[in-house]
Amino acid sequence: MTEPGKDQKIWQVVASIPSGCVASYGQVADMAGLGRQARYIGKALGKLPEGHSIPWYRVIRSNGQIAFPLGSERFETQAQSLREEGVEVIDGRVSMRRFGWRP
């Protein structure tokens, strides 16, 4: 179960990730003041309200991998959204060195 206060913090951090950059679930958790609760980030992003403008697709695994199964509809949506912002997605991965957000 998600918690509204935590979710808002997460959504604020994700909303601040610049176009053309990605952040890891752990990085978002840390920046939201949630320490090592990286797994919670995906749950909170799954609860985004209909019609939101939060760029959830900019959050990926720390190894640069998109978390959705390769070839799934969600994977394709995330990969396409990243590509539209100039982020290279190769074999389901993004170079964290090249595209990782460094606030």
Span 4-10, average pLDDT? 89
The answer to whether the beta carbons of residues 24 and 95 sit under 8 Å apart is no
Locate all alpha helices (DSSP H) within the chain, ordered by sequence: 4-15, 25-31, 38-45, 73-84, 96-99
pLDDT > 80? residue 4: no
Q: What is the CATH number of the domain that holds 18?
A: 1.10.10.10
Q: What is the pLDDT of residue 5?
A: 87
pLDDT > 90? residue 72: yes
pLDDT > 80? residue 1: no
Range of the domain at 58: 4-99
- 24's enclosing H/E stretch is strand 23-24
Find where tokens 């990926």 sit. 60
How many domains are contained in the chain? 1
Rounded Cα distance between 18 and 102, Å, is 10
Question: What is the tens place of the pLDDT at every residue in 30-70?
Answer: 999 999 899 999 999 999 989 999 999 999 999 999 999 99
Percent of the chain with pLDDT over 70: 97
Rounded Cα distance between 5 and 97, Å, is 31
Q: What is the pLDDT of residue 3?
A: 72
